[in-house]
Structure 1
């Protein structure tokens, strides 16, 4: 599992990104459960995610952050990343970010893809 914390801070909200290889929907469930075993991730406002499964197509979860899973999914499809989940975590800071929240999701996924490519 690759995790990058404090990717973005904006108006009190904080963002992190995590990811790793998974096999099937069961692997997705295990990955998310493992992530949420860490107390701060379990208490996060949103853990949005997406994955392109070789045996099941595209799967995503918004976890209350409507549309965020689709943003992650599009980026994974463009990168050609299969059987690899990416989770963007947000701790809400009390101020609505509007459309900026999607830009922050993109920033997180880009940071993850860059770190993965660099061998991080």
Structure 2
């Protein structure tokens, strides 16, 4: 094992606990990484002989505790891989930044999930009521869509300037995202109302998950999200916008369920579609600018 990795193991274990970063085997060098605050889950990492000139690989979970929720290990691995791609710089040790950023994002996600859970029962009850009404209608083709706005006064005068993502398909489920610049929560709501009122296919989709972040007057800010029956998906979309520092934009991710449950993969696909719409809409900051390139050091 390279001396640089040995030094990093000693430093990481001194900062956290003696079992945070442990060498499991050599040639290749395999280590376990225990995440602070996630004591039930540890990651399995592989280091090449060229580390830190070459990045480590996150192979998966090393261990998942009995009390961990189903799919939680996969979720942590996905976040860790995303973070590693952001924080790694050739020639620089990256495990400390990896541990800190992953821990921070897991805490943020936990907070967002708690907030979104408060609204979930009301959303589910409303959705069940809409579906019950639809079942009583004799002509499904001419019935009002589940997401039909109550008042046409909500609709904007012109077509919203949607930028569409590519279409993503997984096990017959189909995902597509729309993003548009908005200046107020009222405008965001009117754009969504217009979409649901004018696109019957979108209105009858299984889920239309939304999120927006908007700068208001006098240094105020507005942000909100809606799961539309896909538990915690809206909070994840909003979290993605926070991580990408996207403002004055709304996003709608539409999912048509294909009959096969995707588990946690559905969240990855939802965020992938949203990120693609942000990029295609030009809402992502230029990574070459100092404020973007310094992201990994500037924790807020």
Match of 1:47 among 196, 200, 208: 208
Query: Partner of 1:13 in structure 2?
Result: 173
What CA distance in whole angstroms lies between the structure 2 residues aligned with 1:5 and 1:39? Answer: 20
Query: Partner of 2:272 in structure 1?
Result: 107
Deviations 1:29-79 (A, max 9, x none): 111012112111111110101111213422001100111111111111122
Residue 72, structure 1, aligned to residue 272, structure 2: no
For these two proteins, the number of residue pairs brought into alignment is 117
More strand by proportion, 1 or 2? 1
Task: Give the TM-score taking structure 2 as reference length.
Answer: 0.37
Query: Partner of 2:190 in structure 1?
Result: 30
Query: Does the Cα contact within 8 Å between 2:166 and 2:276 map onto a contact in 1?
Result: no
What CA distance in whole angstroms lies between the structure 1 residues aligned with 2:194 and 2:254? Answer: 14
Unmatched runs of 5 consecutive residues or more in structure 1: none
What CA distance in whole angstroms lies between the structure 2 residues aligned with 1:105 and 1:99? Answer: 10
What CA distance in whole angstroms lies between the structure 2 residues aligned with 1:102 and 1:4? Answer: 16
Shift of 1:117: 2.8
Shift of 1:5: 4.7
Q: Which runs of 4+ in 1 moved over 6 A?
A: none
Q: CA RMSD in A?
A: 1.5
SS in 2 for 1:102: helix
Larger Rg: 2
What CA distance in whole angstroms lies between the structure 2 residues aligned with 1:5 and 1:63? Answer: 21
Query: Does the Cα contact within 8 Å between 2:164 and 2:280 map onto a contact in 1?
Result: no
What CA distance in whole angstroms lies between the structure 1 residues aligned with 2:175 and 2:263? Answer: 15
SS in 2 for 1:41: helix
Query: Partner of 1:4 in structure 2?
Result: 165
What CA distance in whole angstroms lies between the structure 1 residues aligned with 2:190 and 2:222? Answer: 18
What CA distance in whole angstroms lies between the structure 2 residues aligned with 1:67 and 1:52? Answer: 17
What CA distance in whole angstroms lies between the structure 1 residues aligned with 2:227 and 2:179? Answer: 16
Query: Does the Cα contact within 8 Å between 2:172 and 2:258 map onto a contact in 1?
Result: yes
